[in-house]
Structure 1
């Protein structure tokens, strides 16, 4: 390789690095946090599903990886992966300045 071909590849390599640090890496960190949250949810926690349903966890079934939520419409069974966030964490987080 001569220096001309290396110099022409430099912008392409820089673009790949920028793509990794601004898109791929943050998404991987977000997925890791979400997986850890879903593993640590407990009975009695108020949560929000990915589809926006608010409810309280009344049962966790480890064998088929589902949870039962008590909502205003009654009890609904969801996959554990459908839980998006804990309600108390969303509303009790300190305000950003």
Structure 2
């Protein structure tokens, strides 16, 4: 039995919609999510002392110290807060604060 002959039988007719759903799932959900995770990991790996950042909770601050798992942010004069490194949502540009 050849490949196209398989899809002409009853078994092939049942498998084809499932196969199409898997392909759609891959291109619509899985692949974009992986790209977004990779982009986020690059952002977290590129953090440096002195950068102004925004946390997922909406707190603006400047990175004072970094470790593998945590980041200490200066949120006001003489006020420093420790966050999980993964809590940083974005790096702010020079024109943002």
Task: Give the TM bin, normalised by the shorter chain.
Answer: 0.7 to 0.9
TM-score by length of 1: 0.79
Residue correspondences, number = 88
Query: Residue 7 of structure 1 aligns with which residue?
Result: 13
TM-score by length of 2: 0.79
Q: Pick from 40, 43, 46: which aligns with 2:52? A: 46
Who wins on radius of gyration, i.e. which is larger? 2
Query: Residue 69 of structure 1 aligns with which residue?
Result: 73
Q: Which has the higher helix share?
A: 1
Aligned counterparts of 2:86 and 2:31: Cα–Cα separation in 1: 21
- 1:19-58 matches, within 5 Å, as 19-58=25-64
Deviating above 3 A after TM superposition, structure 1's stretches of 4 or more consecutive aligned residues are none
Secondary structure in structure 1 of the residue aligned to 2:93: helix
Offset at 1:35? 0.8
Instruction: List gaps (5 residues or longer) in structure 1.
Output: 92-97
**CA RMSD, 1 decimal:** 2.0
Offset at 1:42? 0.3
Aligned counterparts of 2:23 and 2:76: Cα–Cα separation in 1: 47
